[in-house]
Amino acid sequence: MDEKNNNMSKHPEYQFLDLIQDILDNGNDKELFLTPEVLAQFEEKGEVKPYIRSVFGRMMRFDLKQGFPLLTTKKVFLKAIVVELLWLLKGSGNIKYLIDNNVHIWDEWGWKKYVEIKKLEGETEFLKLAEYVEKVKTDPEFAEKYADLGPAYPVNWRHFKGEGEREADQIAWIIEGLKKRPYRKSYVVSAWHPVYTYEMARTGESMALPPCHTTFQFNVNDKDELSCALFQRSGDTFLGVPFNIASYALLTMMIAQITGLKLGEFVHFFGDVHVYSNHFEAVKEQLQREPRPFPTMKLNPEITNIDDFKLEDFSIENYNPHPTLKAPITNIGGF
């Protein structure tokens, strides 16, 4: 069998495994810019500060007609993916919805915002992370004030701020456009808002976390198949990228159902894609595993409005992954 045909017949998850191997073999080792608070955490534990090994400019593509791309070489926490996506579509940067649904992947970012606000208020003692999470869960007034990340992904997706009172609901605009003029080339969503990012941000209005998955575009071919292409400026390959693949594949499925289109592909482009040094052993173990067939994702066919989806409207069938692989989340605290 020639190389072209062999690559076409390989399980699509090998794209992910090959990317990990590429990073380990060919990546550049780079220093992480950690805030003093995060550095202190490593020092208190007696741990060496991690670094990243990265490559630049890579791509993967998944045919959504051939199964839902939920990685099988380690178990992926699907509930967190669905709940986070529903949160992204709500248009609010407040993480109470995530905490109420027992999804805690954004807790530290909310807690850091809480600490920042308390410092501005002159406080010197703060709730610990677990105490903060419980307070958000049980005290609505506290959650309203201290659990809002500001102009993060949900806000930029649904309420992208312009001059004055102008704002754009990018998701609603795309859905309406796909229904009326599916073949246009302008169905792009941007989470990257320079006004709220890095040193470009106006004083006091910096984003809690500059977006890693910055821009995505929808496209319809002559078979009325809907595809989505994501550009991700920065990808944590072991922990983050499996979530991103499944999340944007699921978003594509949801929008295809809402607009009456068929399923096409999810195409994933990367800028800097990397593995953290404290993940090396876990990814080496993952590379020893053989991919298993992708599962099937089922959506409630009665849903016709993107805002009506709930957690119970999603079900996964025939997901048989290898066991969970764990590695520490490296919350760099900066950018």
Q: Domain residues of the chain, as ranges? A: 3-93+150-317, 94-148
- Can you give the pLDDT at residue 231? 98
Cβ atoms of residues 49 and 257 within 8 Å: no
Examine the pLDDT at 1 and tell me if it is beyond 60: no
**Known catalytic residue at 212:** yes
* Model confidence band, residue 3 (pLDDT cutoffs 50, 70, 90): very low
**Span of 157-171, 199-213, 242-256 with lowest mean pLDDT:** 199-213
Cβ atoms of residues 155 and 192 within 8 Å: no
Tens of pLDDT, residue by residue over 254-303, are 999 999 999 999 999 999 999 999 999 999 999 999 999 999 999 999 99
* Model confidence band, residue 138 (pLDDT cutoffs 50, 70, 90): very high
121 vs 289: which has the higher pLDDT: 289
- Can you give the pLDDT at residue 289? 98
Cβ atoms of residues 174 and 182 within 8 Å: no
Tokens standing for 325? 């692989």
203 vs 133: which has the higher pLDDT: 133
* Model confidence band, residue 334 (pLDDT cutoffs 50, 70, 90): very low
Whole-model pTM? 0.92
Query: What's the distance, Cα to Cα, between the start and end of the chain in Å?
Result: 46
Cβ atoms of residues 80 and 70 within 8 Å: no
C-alpha 109/C-alpha 249 separation (Å) is: 25
Mean pLDDT for the stretch of residues 150-178: 93
Task: Tell me how far the alpha carbon of residue 150 is from its chain's centroid.
Answer: 17
C-alpha 188/C-alpha 59 separation (Å) is: 18
Mean pLDDT for the stretch of residues 96-122: 92
- Can you give the pLDDT at residue 207? 53
294 vs 198: which has the higher pLDDT: 294
- Can you give the pLDDT at residue 206? 53
Rounded to 10 deg, the angle between the 14-26 and 240-259 helix axes is 140
**Span of 36-40, 158-162, 254-258, 306-310 with lowest mean pLDDT:** 36-40
**Span of 3-17, 110-124, 136-150 with lowest mean pLDDT:** 3-17
Cβ atoms of residues 335 and 212 within 8 Å: no
Mean pLDDT for the stretch of residues 168-194: 96
Residue of 86, 136, 171, 212 marked catalytic: 212
Examine the pLDDT at 35 and tell me if it is beyond 90: no
**Span of 176-180, 195-199, 203-207, 262-266 with lowest mean pLDDT:** 203-207
Q: Domain 3-93+150-317, what fold?
A: Thymidylate Synthase; Chain A (3.30.572)
C-alpha 282/C-alpha 284 separation (Å) is: 5
Residue 278: closest CA among 106, 116, 42:
42
Mean pLDDT for the stretch of residues 52-68: 97
